[in-house]
Chains A and B, each alone.
With several copies, the nearest count.
Chain A
Amino acid sequence: MRFSLDDDREALRATARDLLAELCPPAAVRAAWTQEPDPSAWHALADAGALAVLVPESEGGLGLDETYLVGVVEEAGRAALPHPLTATALVAAPLGVAGTTVTTDLGASSAIVPAATYAEAFLLRSDDGLRLYGADEVEIEPVETVDSSRHCARVHPRGAGELVTGDAAATEAAFERGVLGTAAELLGLSHRMLELTVGYAAQRHQFGKPIGSFQAVKHHLANARIQIEFAAPAVLYAAYAVAHGRGDASRAVSQAKWLAGNTASVMGRAALQCHGAIGYTTEHDLHLYLKRSWALARSWGGAGFHADRVAASIGL
C-alpha cells in the first residue's frame, strides 16, 4: 500500500508545469480570448511526449498509463491551457487517434465543443459508436461562451467520418477518461486561484493591515484549501482506478469530478470575494481561471449528474 506519485510521475508533471509556466502564462490565456491560441505550449507538450503518454511505445508514444498523465492534465488546468489536452491525450489517444489535435465533448448532453475553431479532428458520438471527423468534414457554428479562450462551437458532421469504435464499453470508458481529465483540470484551476488569492491577501492592505490578517478572509481561504486537500487524492485515485481497470473506476471518476467541481466552486467564490472589486475586472488575471472553472464544472456532466451516478453505484 502506497499512495503518492512516484519520482517518474512527478518528473513528468514537473516538466509540464515548467513548460506551461513559461509558454502559457496569463498573457497567453488572455490573448487566446481574442485569437486562436498560440501553439507554442501545445507543441512543447507534444515534444515532451505529454500528448502521447497513453500511446503504446510501438506507435511512438510513451506507453504509460493515466497515473502518469493526470498530473500533466492538472498542470494544464493550473495554467488554463486553452488547448484540448483532455480530449486529445486522454480521450482520443487510447482509442488509437494520435498525432493530431482532437476535440470532443462526450458529456451527458453533448452540445458545445471547445477548441472547435482550430481543432484538426473531431471525435463525436454517433448512433453506432464514436466517429472521427476531419475539420473539413464538419460544419462549425461558433457560439459565444463565458470563457472565450475555449473557442466553443456547435459542431455538425457533414461527412461520414471514420468509425473509431463501435463498442459501448469503449465509448463509456472514453467518456470516463474525459470526466477524469476535466476533474484534474478543475483541481489545477483551484490550485492556481488559491495561489493568486493568497498572494493578493498577503499584499493588499485595508484598515491598516493586510486583508489576509482578517479572520473572515482567512476562513474563506482555509475552507477552500480544505476542499482542495480532499479533492486531490480522489482525482489521483480515479486515475489509478482507470489505469488498473478497477471495478470502481466508473464511480471513482464521478466522485473525482464531483469533488473537484465543488472545490473549484468554493475556491472561485472565495477568490472573487477576497479579491474584491480588483478581481471583478477583466484587467486582472483571476477571471481567466475563474471562467474556465465555471465552464469545466458543467462540462462532462455537472454535480447532480455525477452524484446520481455515485448514488446508483452504492445502491441508493
Chain B
Amino acid sequence: MDLNWSETQAAMRRDLRGWLERNLAEWRAEIGVELSGDTREGFAQQLRWERRLYEAGWSAVAWPEAYGGREGTLWDWLVFEEEYWRSGAPQRVTQNGIQILAPSLFEHGTQDQKDLLLPRIAAAEDLWCQGWSEPNAGSDLAGVSSRARRVSGGWVLDGQKTWTTRGAFCTHLFGLFRSDPDSERHRGLTYLLVPLDLDGVVVRGFSRLDGDEGFAEVFFTEAFLPDDAVGTSVVLGDVDRGWSVAVSAASTERGLLRSPGRYQATVAGLLDLWAERGGDAATRRRLAAAWMLVDAYRLQTLQTITALLDGVDLGSEASLAKVWWSELDIELHEIALELLGTDAELEGPWSKGHQFALAGPIYAGTNEVQRNIVAERVLGLPR
C-alpha cells in the first residue's frame, strides 16, 4: 500500500497545471466569449481547444505515443483528470471517441483500425458520436431496430438513432445495427463505424433540457456504407456479434467516464461559494457530507485502478460507480442552488450544471438498470 504519487507523476502534474493555465488563457483570448460545447459555435471553439491539447500530447494521456498519447498509466490519467477539471477547462467534446469508442477499438479493433482511427480520434480530426439509442431502444439497448443489410462492397443502413450527444456537430457515428433480420434482442447486431456525410443520412439536432442543441436524431434511409468508408473496415469485431463489443464499452463508460477529478473540482467550487455567501448549519453539514462522498469516490477509484492494473476485470462493478457519481453530482448541484438562494433561478454555471447532473441517472444506462446489474451480477440475486 503506497498512497504517494511518484516523482514522475508529481512532475507531470506540475507541468500540466502550468500548461493548462497558459493555454486556457491563450485560448480564451482567441475565442472571445466561451460558449457551451453543446452549441454549434461553442463546439467549433472547443475543437480549437482539443487541438491544443492534442498538439501538446494531453488529449489521451494513457494511450501509446503512436496513437497520439503519452504512454501514461491509469494513474497518469487520474492525475490528468484532477488537474484538467481543477483548471476550469471545458468539457471534452471528443469524449465519446476517446472514452467510449477507443476502449472498444483497443480491445476489438484490427491493427489497421487502431492505426488509422485512434490517431484521428486523439487529434480531434474524426469526431465521433454514439449511436446506441433509438426511439424504442433506450434503457433496453437490445431493442435496436436500425438495420444494416449486407450488399456487395458494403452495407445499406435504414432506421433511426436518437439522443445522440452532439450528433449535429460530429463527423462520425459508432453504433449497433441489426444485421441479421431474423435475429432478436442481443443477437444479430453488428457494431458499425459510420461517417455522417453518407448519402441517405440526415442529422437533426434538438435541444436538451438546458436548451443547448446537445442532442441529435440521425435518420438512415437506404444509406450505402462502403466497407472501407472510414479508410478501413467499418465493422468493429465480428459481423452479427456487435453486442459484446458494445457491452465492453458500456462497462468503461460507467466506470471511468466520470473521473473523481470532476467532482473534486465541483466540491472545490462549492467551498468557494460557501466562503463567498455562507449558509446555515444544516447546509454546512450537508456540504461536509458531500465532500466526504466525493473523497470516497476518489479513494474507491484508487482501489479500482490498483485492481485494473493487477489485471482484474472491471465488469459489473462499474455499475456501482455509475450510481454513485450520478447521484453525487445532483447532490452537489442541489447544495449549490441552496447556497445561491433565490439567485438559483438565474441561468448560470450552477443552474446549467444542475440540469446536466439530472441527466446522470439516465444516460449510460439508467440507474434502475445499474441497480439491477449490481443486484444480479455483483450480488448474484435471481433475475
* Chain A residues with a Cβ under 8 A of chain B: 1-6, 9, 67, 107-112, 143-147, 152, 194, 198, 201-202, 205-207, 209-219, 221-223, 225-226, 229-234, 236-237, 240, 255, 258-259, 269, 272-273, 276-283, 287, 290, 294-295, 298-299, 302, 304, 307-308, 310-311, 314-316
User: Which residues from 275 to 312 on chain B have a C-beta closer than 8 Å to any C-beta of chain A?
Assistant: 275, 280, 282-285, 287-289, 291-293, 295-297, 299-300, 302-303, 305-307, 310
Of A1, A110, A207, the contact of B302 (CB 8 Å cutoff): A1
| Inter-subunit contact B9/A1 (CB<8 Å) | yes
With A1-B4, A202-B381 known as contacts, the answer to whether A304 contacts B338 (CB < 8 A) is yes
User: How many angstroms between the C-alpha atoms of A290 and B297 in the bound complex?
Assistant: 26
List A contacts of B363 (CB < 8 A): 277
Q: Is B324 located at the chain interface by the 8 A CB criterion? A: yes
Closest B residue, CB atoms, query A4: B306
CB of B23 within 8 A of chain A?
no
Q: Tell me the complex Cα distance, A277–B288, Å.
A: 31
**Known interface pairs A144-B346, A230-B324. Does A210 touch B382 (Cβ–Cβ under 8 Å)?**
yes
Pick the residue among A143, A226, A231 that contacts B323 (CB under 8 A): A226
Please tell me which one of the listed residues A146, A211, A290, A304 contacts residue B345 in the complex, with CB atoms under 8 A apart.
A146
| Structural contact, A198 and B381, CB atoms closer than 8 A | yes
**B contact residues, total (Cβ < 8 Å):** 83
A304 contacts B366, C-beta separation under 8 Å: no
| Bound complex: CA A84 to CA B381 (Å) | 35
Chain B residues within 8 Å of A201, by CB = 381
List residues 327-342 of chain B with CB under 8 A from any CB of chain A: 337-338, 341-342
Which residues of chain B have C-beta atoms less than 8 A from A299's C-beta?
342, 345
A316 and B271 contacting across the interface, CB-CB below 8 Å: yes
Q: Cβ of A232: which chain B residues have Cβ within 8 Å of it?
A: 300, 303
Q: Tell me the B residues contacting A by CB distance below 8 Å.
A: 1-6, 9, 75, 133, 136, 138-140, 143, 162-163, 206-209, 211, 215, 271, 274-275, 280, 282-285, 287-289, 291-293, 295-297, 299-300, 302-303, 305-307, 310, 317, 320-321, 323-324, 337-338, 341-347, 351, 355, 358-359, 361-363, 366-368, 370-372, 374-376, 378-383
Q: Let me know if A212 and B285 touch, CB within 8 A.
A: no
**Quick check: B292 and A222 within 8 Å, CB to CB?**
no
A selection of 17 A-B contacts at a CB cut-off of 8 Å is A1-B3, A1-B4, A1-B9, A2-B3, A3-B306, A112-B343, A146-B347, A147-B345, A206-B143, A229-B321, A230-B297, A230-B300, A231-B296, A234-B296, A282-B209, A304-B338, A314-B291
**A307–B289 CB distance below 8 A:** yes
Contacts of B381 in A (CB 8 A): 198, 201-202, 210, 212-213, 217-218, 221
Q: Is the CB of B382 within 8 A of A237?
A: no
Q: For B4, what are the chain A residues with a Cβ–Cβ distance below 8 Å? A: 1
Residues in B with CB closer than 8 Å to A302 are 338, 341
| CA A279 to CA B305, docked complex, whole Å | 35
Residues B138 and A214 in contact, CB atoms below 8 Å apart: no
Q: Which residue from A2, A145, A207, A315 sits with its C-beta under 8 Å from B275?
A: A315
For A279, what are the chain B residues with a Cβ–Cβ distance below 8 Å? 209
User: What is the bound-complex CA distance between A236 and B288, given in angstroms?
Assistant: 20
A314 touches B285 (CB 8 A): no
CB distance from A291 to the nearest CB of B (A): 8
Using A277-B163, A304-B285, A311-B287 as known contacts, say yes or no to A298 and B362 having CB atoms under 8 A apart.
no
20 new A-B pairs (CB below 8 Å) besides A230-B293, A234-B295? A1-B4, A206-B140, A214-B368, A217-B368, A218-B371, A219-B371, A222-B375, A225-B374, A226-B324, A229-B320, A233-B302, A237-B299, A259-B292, A273-B366, A277-B162, A282-B207, A299-B345, A314-B288, A314-B291, A315-B271
Asked whether, in the complex, the Cβ of B380 is within 8 Å of the Cβ of A202, the reply is: yes
Known contacts A1-B9, A281-B215, A282-B211, A112 near B288 by CB under 8 Å: no
Quick one: which of B300, B320, B342, B383 contacts A213, CB cutoff 8 A? B383
Q: Which residue of chain B has its CB nearest to the CB of A215?
A: B372
Q: How far is the CB of B323 from chain A (nearest CB, A)?
A: 5
Q: Report A71 CB to chain B, min CB distance, Å.
A: 11
A302 to B362, CA, bound (A): 27
Bound-complex Cα distance A283 to B287 (A)? 34
* A120-B368 Cα distance, complex, nearest whole Å: 48
A14 to B305, CA, bound (A): 23
